[in-house]
Each structure stands twice: as structure tokens, then as C-alpha cells.
Amino acid sequence: MSIALIDYGAGNLHSVHNALVKAGARDVVLAADGEVVRRADRIVLPGVGAFRACRDGLYALPGVVEAMGEAVQARGVPFLGICVGMQLLADEGEEFGSHDGLGWVPGTVRLIEPADASIKVPHMGWNDVTPATPHPLIVPGEAYFLHSYHFAAKDPAHVLATTDHGGPIVAAVGRDTIVGVQFHPEKSQSYGLSFLSRFLEWRP
Amino acid sequence: MTVRVRVIPCLDVANGRVVKGVNFVDLADAGDPVEQARLYDSMGADELCFLDITASHEDRGTILDIVRRTAEVCFMPVTVGGGVRSAEDARALLLAGADKVAVNSAAVARPEVVADIADRFGSQCVVASVDARRVAEGRWEIFTHGGRRATGIDALEHATRLAQLGAGELLVTSMDGDGTKQGYDLALTRAIADAVSVPVIASGGVGTLDHLVEGVVQGHASAVLAASIFHFGQHTIAEAHQALSKAGIAVRHPISLQTL
């Protein structure tokens, strides 16, 4: 089984690579062009930092966005977006101006603005993953979060899990063979590694 | 629940080996950094911090290699500080596998370095250090060079500025307390934590588990950093979590309840 790990210069690329291998992946290929994505049985989109910088990096890779769309829509390839890789699934992100996302999971990526001033932003640290919609990849537990923007989903049916940080925050979204997680499985010790194993074994 | 208070063991690294400076002067070797990192990962540390205390005058390659090898075997967030002077230094550490970089003296000389790194890699990966000493009642000043050199910069103003420039987190170290085991400077920690919207890590002076609790309850810190109480086997991470939990602070569940 070949796993395409999209390589557009995301800071957590190697950590995700290490964690996938630890979780049991044998064939992780760094993908910087459409051809590699077309041959993949699984696709993982990492991402840290700003929405726009990640978006621009991703769209600069020749044929990758098209190949990802084709793989997911025509072949039903399981797809995992992590942190900003998850946020890129939205229609748009509002970090440093409004920018289009992939639009695969309807929603907008907005700044976390807690009403209570003692709630710190970035949302940084271990917090609950509370399942919202039953899904084979999502189990309750504690995972590591590190973000200032959050995914506001248009359709509640696409929210697979939430967490709480001065109010509910989306922890995972998904539809069909697509899953995006706001937390960092590659930094969530045993919870994260078992999540990645489930993704590797997932037969949607 | 809410986001958990983090317990962060800090490994001071010199010449590729873990050391702990008592007041940053007397160094005692406490082992191999990658092995120690693995140990803390298996003990359920919430994060790990490497501080390269010789970075300013020695080969940068050593710490990059340690970070790379740590990232291969540890699956928790790792912050690396010491000798980070530019966005390029930060980039090298992040690519090696660090999740965050801590900017120390470079941000005193040129606070804009925090914005340089945040603009390129995001605020979430920039930890700005605030190394301060008390100079009068309710007033702290920024010190550099391991607490030896005064700068005349007000610590509270400096901290606020670093947060405005894009630091995602502040590492507040009392240079008076560091290595003394007398506890954090709680007034300093609280003054900064209450003034900024980003999380504050309390650092410097932990000698007991009660000190960790005080850092959160009285210092309003989001995370507590300590070194020697963990390194020399005085306490485990689980004991630290337990002490915090007993005081009503939200922490992670014991690692034994988690399964792979």
C-alpha cells in the first residue's frame, strides 16, 4: 500500500512521516507532483502555519491538487488532512485576508475568539477529542492541538468530533473517504499513533 | 473539559549531552538527550523542551542532529531553544523535527526576529523567552547571558511586545529562581500571564511538586517547565500530573489508561 505524503514544505512533514512509519506504514512516498498522487492508495496532507502560505505551497506543486481531487472523487482513495491540511478542506480561510480552500468540506476557517479573556489563543496543548458523528477513525481520547484558527463547518453532519476551548471547537471533519483532524496525531503519543493505524487500515 | 495544563521537562544540552546548570554555572552531566527524550515520551510528558546552552558559540549541527534523532522516536511536541537568531535558524530546527523554536537573546537585541519567524512559519511555532530578574518590588528587568547582563528593558513591556509581534507562547524564566529550587517567581509569571492573550510557560526555580501547582494557581501559567526534579528521579511526570490534578487543575489522564 502506497501512501502519498504531500510535500509542499510543511513544517510537520517529517514528523508525520515518522509517525506514519511508527504506526505501521511501509511505503510512504513524499509527493510533490501529480504522478505520485495518482499511484497512491492513501493520501496525507500535512500542514502547520498560516492558511494562505500552506495553500500557496500546495497549489504551486504541479498537478497535485487535480490529482488529489481525482483520487478522492473518482477512486475513493482515503484522504487525511492534518491541522492546516484539514483547514484547507474548507471553502475559505480568513487568516491574513480571505483565501479559497479546496472546498471539499463546506465551511470557513475563522479565528478562535473566546468570550472569556482568560482563554488563551493559540489553543495549545492536550485536549479532548469528543466524537460527534459516528466514524470508524474517531474514538474518544486526548490529543495535542496547536492552532489559532478553527474550522466552522456549514453542515453539522460533517463534524466528526469536537473539543472545548472557551466553547466547542471542531476537532475532526469528514465526508465520504475524506477525514481532516485539527489535532496533531503525529504529536499525540499513543492516541495519535493508534489514530494513524486506524487510518492505514480504513476501508471506507 | 478544557485544554490541559502541560508539564514540560526541559533538557539543557551542551556538546550533545544533557546537563543541568545550577544558576547556569555548575554543570552536572545527566545523560544522552535522545534517550532522555524517549524516557519522557514513554512517561507521558506533555511536551519536551531542549535548550542548547552552548549554541551561541559552538557547532549548530550537534543540536540539529539531536532534534532529528529525537523526532524519529518521540511522538510529542518538542520545543528547541538556544542560539536561534534568525528565521533561517528557526527553519533548520523545524525541518529537523522541532515543533516550536524558542527565541532568547536574539529577541532582546532585535524583537522583530519574532515577527520574521511567525510570518514565515506561523505564530504557533514561536516561543519567545522572557528571562527576567526582579529589580524592585513589582518590577522586573530583562537579563541576558544566563542572567549575568542587565539590559534595562522592562520585562512586562518586553513580554507584551513579543506577543504583539507574533509569539505564540511566552517562556517566562525567573533568573533569580533558576536552579535554586525555591519555586517560580509567581508575581512575575502572573503579571505577564494576565497581560497577554497567548499561553505562558512558567520556568525557573522548581524544587517541589507544590511549586508546579503554584505556577498555575497563583502564577496563572498554562504550562509548567522543570528540569532537575525530573532528571534526577525526584519525581515522575505522573506524580506531577497527580499533584496538579489534586489541586483541581485539568491535566491529561494517566498514560496507563491510554493504549496503542
- The answer to whether position B260 is within a domain reads no
Whether B12 sits among the annotated catalytic residues: the reply is yes
- The answer to whether position B254 is within a domain reads no
Q: What residue ranges define each of the domains in chain A, with the CATH number in brackets?
A: 2-201 (3.40.50.880)
* A162: closest CA of chain B, how far (Å): 12
Q: Do B3 and A125 touch (CB under 8 A)?
A: yes
Task: Please give the residue range of the domain that contains residue B63.
Answer: 6-247
> Which residues, 6 or more positions from A164, have their beta carbon under 8 angstroms from its beta carbon?
A127, A128, A130, B1, B2
A194 part of contact set with chain B, CB < 8 Å: yes
What SS3 state is found at B159? helix
Q: Is the pLDDT of residue B150 over 90?
A: yes
- What would the pLDDT profile of A60-116 be if each residue is shown by its tens digit? 999 999 999 999 999 999 999 999 999 999 999 998 889 999 999 999 999 999 999
DSSP string, B52-97: ETTGGGS-THHHHHHHHHHHHH--S-EEEESS--SHHHHHHHHHHT
pLDDT at B20: 63
pLDDT at B255: 61
What whole-number percentage of chain A has pLDDT above 70? 100
- The answer to whether position B226 is within a domain reads yes
Give the integer Cα–Cα distance in Å for B200 and B216.
10
Q: Do A192 and B75 touch (CB under 8 A)?
A: yes
- What would the pLDDT profile of B79-91 be if each residue is shown by its tens digit? 999 889 999 999 9
Q: Do A165 and B258 touch (CB under 8 A)?
A: no
* A139: closest CA of chain B, how far (Å): 12
Q: Where do runs of H (alpha helix) occur along A31-151?
A: 34-38, 51-59, 64-75, 84-87
ipTM: 0.93
Mean per-residue pLDDT, A16-37: 96
Mean per-residue pLDDT, B92-105: 92
pLDDT at B25: 35
- B57: confidence class by pLDDT, cuts 50, 70, 90: low
- The answer to whether position B82 is within a domain reads yes
Q: What mean pLDDT is reported for chain A?
A: 95
CATH code where residue B14 lies: 3.20.20.70
- The answer to whether position B257 is within a domain reads no
Q: Is the pLDDT of residue B28 over 50?
A: no
Give the integer Cα–Cα distance in Å for A112 and A146.
12
- What would the pLDDT profile of A120-144 be if each residue is shown by its tens digit? 999 999 999 999 999 999 999 999 9
Q: Do B258 and A190 touch (CB under 8 A)?
A: yes
pLDDT at B65: 93
Q: What residues of B are in the A interface, CB distance below 8 Å?
A: 1-6, 41, 44, 46, 71-72, 75-77, 94-97, 99, 120-125, 168-169, 197-199, 220, 222-223, 252-253, 255, 258-260
Q: How many domains does chain B have?
A: 1
* B149: closest CA of chain A, how far (Å): 32
- The answer to whether position B169 is within a domain reads yes
- What would the pLDDT profile of B168-216 be if each residue is shown by its tens digit? 999 999 999 888 899 999 999 999 999 999 999 999 999 999 999 999 9
- The answer to whether position B44 is within a domain reads yes
Q: Which residues of B touch A118 (CB under 8 A)?
A: 220
pLDDT at B22: 37
- What would the pLDDT profile of A101-117 be if each residue is shown by its tens digit? 999 999 999 999 999 98
Mean per-residue pLDDT, B244-260: 78
* Residue tagged active-site, from B46, B131, B178, B185: B131
Q: Do B97 and A18 touch (CB under 8 A)?
A: yes
Measured between alpha carbons, how far apart are the two ends of chain A, in Å? 15
- The answer to whether position B199 is within a domain reads yes
Q: Which residues of A, range 23-42, sit inside 8 Å of B by Cβ?
A: none
